[in-house]
Chain A
Amino acid sequence: MSKVMVVTSGKGGVGKTTSSASLGAALAQAGQNVVVVDFDVGLRNLDLVMGAERRVVFDLVNVVQGDAKLPQALIRDKRVETLYLLPASQTRDKDALTEEGVGRVIAELRERFDWIVCDSPAGIEKGAQLAMRFADIAVVVTNPEVSSVRDSDRIIGMLDSKTLRAETGERLEKHLLLTRYDAARATKGEMMKVEDILEILAIPLLGIVAESPDVLTASNVGSPVTLHNPASAAARSYTDAARRLMGESVAINTPAEKRGLMSRLFGRKATAA
């Protein structure tokens, strides 16, 4: 049974593309057949983050419009053989996609893959709506910051009203992926805590990815962090999240504050959540 999973957020820059690449890679590393589809027509970046930018010939728009066959546009990852990328077009705009055309491509992808990971563009316009339209599962990427939480709330509302599953009364699984979390700042009360955000958005938590230089390093070299540095905390967070998506029950660790000399001397407590 194939699953269509949209990675979305409303707000830009919170980590949708990074998370799409990392979750997709982690699922593929676990043996699943995975395709990650870039829906950000006009501003594609998933190819760059996955290190396939020099191999793009055809793209999603070409396939939707019938100018290329699906297998011609799919790019196979050089590191994990069950991982594929379907890039977005760089020269078109979002109107180049139609619901009917996207539906056809998704149906064709469902025949070949276990997971179809749809990397949504930012915003709430047509591109974002098409990315979520056929989803069975949604991963809402959120930063612990007011504007991101507000936009996530808006996106959750759209998932509940604008998706095919919502319209036909079927259940759409929604998960929260909290990224760029800084445990030290949360402890000091400078950043909302995990439980604050869960209380506000009221969807189950898929994972917490702590703010980490490893994520930037991985995108610098064009490799999902789960492949580039599997031992890093960020990679482990994504790998665990992928296992949860596959139905395994894996406990979620809230990143703990690294206690420095001063806080040890003065005995400030770290969060024990």
Chain B
Amino acid sequence: MSILNFFSRNRSSAPVAKDRLQLLLAHERVLSGRPDLAAVLQKEILAVIAKHIPIDQDKVVVKLDRGAKVSTLEIDIEMPDEVIAQG
């Protein structure tokens, strides 16, 4: 055992485990019994947009970030220039 190990031995991982779980479960409890809300939102939002402009599925980037107080669902759609020009 190195000296570094000896001194860092008291740094405990249990509180980290507890914090991670509390954050995760706060989300999972809200979602339980429902299909993945983010997936449903993504599908429906894209369907609405697709009704009006042609979307290339490869040009859609979806990101989800679950935070302690606020979660963000980020949907990036690259629109072809000609569509904008027409509008």
Known: A150-B25, A200-B25. A192 touches B33 (CB 8 A): no
A193:B14 contact, CB within 8 angstroms: yes
Chain B: which residue is nearest A185 at the CB level? B14
A189:B32 contact, CB within 8 angstroms: no
**A214 vs B46: C-alpha distance when bound (angstroms):** 58
Q: How far is the CB of B18 from chain A (nearest CB, A)?
A: 5
Judge whether A213 is part of the interface by a CB distance below 8 angstroms: no
B20:A146 contact, CB within 8 angstroms: yes
Chain B: which residue is nearest A186 at the CB level? B14
- In this complex, the interface size class of chain A, counting residues with CB under 8 Å from chain B, is 10 to 19
**A193 vs B15: C-alpha distance when bound (angstroms):** 9
**A196 vs B18: C-alpha distance when bound (angstroms):** 7
The majority secondary structure among interface residues of chain A is helix
A190:B25 contact, CB within 8 angstroms: no
Judge whether B86 is part of the interface by a CB distance below 8 angstroms: no
Judge whether A161 is part of the interface by a CB distance below 8 angstroms: yes
Judge whether A46 is part of the interface by a CB distance below 8 angstroms: no
Judge whether B17 is part of the interface by a CB distance below 8 angstroms: yes
A189:B25 contact, CB within 8 angstroms: no
Q: Per-residue CB proximity of A130-163 to B under 8 Å, as 1/0?
A: 0000000000000001100110011001000100
Q: How far is the CB of A77 from chain B (nearest CB, A)?
A: 38
B33:A188 contact, CB within 8 angstroms: no
Judge whether A70 is part of the interface by a CB distance below 8 angstroms: no
Chain B: which residue is nearest A189 at the CB level? B12
A153:B28 contact, CB within 8 angstroms: yes
- Hey, which chain B residues are within 8 Å of A188, CB to CB? 9-10, 12
B14:A189 contact, CB within 8 angstroms: yes
Known: A154-B32, A157-B32, A157-B33. A191 touches B25 (CB 8 A): no
Judge whether B22 is part of the interface by a CB distance below 8 angstroms: yes
Q: How far is the CB of B14 from chain A (nearest CB, A)?
A: 5
A157:B13 contact, CB within 8 angstroms: no
Known: A146-B20, A146-B21, A200-B22. A153 touches B14 (CB 8 A): no
A192:B14 contact, CB within 8 angstroms: yes
B12:A200 contact, CB within 8 angstroms: no
**A114 vs B85: C-alpha distance when bound (angstroms):** 77
User: In chain A, residues 195-233, which have Cβ atoms closer than 8 Å to a Cβ of chain B?
Assistant: 196, 199-200
- Hey, which chain B residues are within 8 Å of A196, CB to CB? 14, 17-18
Q: How far is the CB of A174 from chain B (nearest CB, A)?
A: 15
A161:B33 contact, CB within 8 angstroms: yes
Chain A: which residue is nearest B33 at the CB level? A161
Seen from chain A, the residues whose Cβ lies within 8 Å of a Cβ on chain B are 145-146, 149-150, 153-154, 157, 161, 186, 188-193, 196, 199-200
User: What are the 8 tightest A-B residue pairs by CB atom distance, in nearest-first order?
Assistant: A189-B12, A157-B32, A196-B18, A192-B14, A189-B14, A146-B17, A153-B25, A192-B17
